A and B are shown apart, each in its own frame.
Chain A
C-alpha cells in the first residue's frame, strides 16, 4: 500500500483500566468528524476494546462498546488487529465485533511507514 494521508490511531489499552481507550477513540472520532480519513490499529490489550459481548465497566463505568459500534457511522472502517495479540489472549475473531482485519505483527512496521500522521494511545 502506498503512503496515505489518513490518520493512524493506535489503541494499546483495555477498556476501563484507564481513560486511554476512551480518549483515544475521542481523538479518532473528532478527526473523522473533521473529514480526515482515520485508520485504527489495535495492539496488545487494546484488542479487548473490540470484544462484542462486553458490558459496561465496574459499577458506574460507562461502556465503551457503543463508541466502537459508532465508528462505521464516521466512515472509520479500517480496524486492524494483530494475530499475535489475539493468540496471546486466547481469543478468536468470532469474539470480536464485525469488520476487523487481521494482520501479522511484522506488518505493523509497514503500516507505521505508510502513515505520516499517527496518534498512539
Chain B
C-alpha cells in the first residue's frame, strides 16, 4: 500500500489534467493504495468552483471531486493566492474582499502553498497533472 499525492494545475474543460487526475485517483484506490490529498494550484483552482454548471450529460468535475472526498475522505486543498487571483473564493474571503458572491465551500479548503509542500513530503509518490 502506497500513499499518493496529486497536484492538479489544469482547469476543467480547458485541460485534460483534472479528468486524468480524477481517473488516476480512482485507479490507485481501486488497487488498494491511498490518496493522501489533492492540491489545486495554477489554473487547477477552477476545479473548486461550485458555480460550474456544465450540460447535464457531461461530467461535473466539481461534483466528481466532492464524491471522491465523500467516499475516501481525501483532503481537497486549494491555493488561496492562485484562487483569489482568478476570482475563486470562500464566503469569508468574499466578505473580506467586499465581493457579492463566493464559489468555494467545504470540502474544498483554501490554504497556502505550505500545504502543497507538506503533501509532497508525506506522499511516497507525488504526481503532477498539468
Q: List residues of chain A with CB under 8 Å of any chain B CB.
A: 7, 19-20, 23, 26-27, 30-31, 34, 36, 117, 119-121
Please tell me if the beta carbons of A23 and B117 are within 8 angstroms of each other in the complex: no
Shortest CB–CB separation between residue A72 and chain B, in angstroms?
20
Q: How far apart sit A40 and B128, CA to CA, in the bound complex (Å)?
A: 17
Q: Which of A31, A120, A121 contacts B117 (CB 8 A)?
A: A31
- Judged by DSSP, the binding face of B is helix
Please tell me if the beta carbons of B130 and A23 are within 8 angstroms of each other in the complex: no
Interface residues on B, range: 10 to 19
Q: How far apart sit A121 and B112, CA to CA, in the bound complex (Å)?
A: 17
Given A27-B116, A30-B112; A19-B42 close (CB under 8 Å)? yes
Q: List residues of chain B with CB under 8 Å of any chain A CB.
A: 7, 41-42, 81-82, 85, 112-114, 116-117, 120-121, 126, 128, 130
Q: Which residue of B lies closest to A28 (CB)?
A: B113
Contacts of A27 in B (CB 8 A): 41, 113, 116-117
Please tell me if the beta carbons of B42 and A23 are within 8 angstroms of each other in the complex: yes
Contacts of A31 in B (CB 8 A): 113, 117
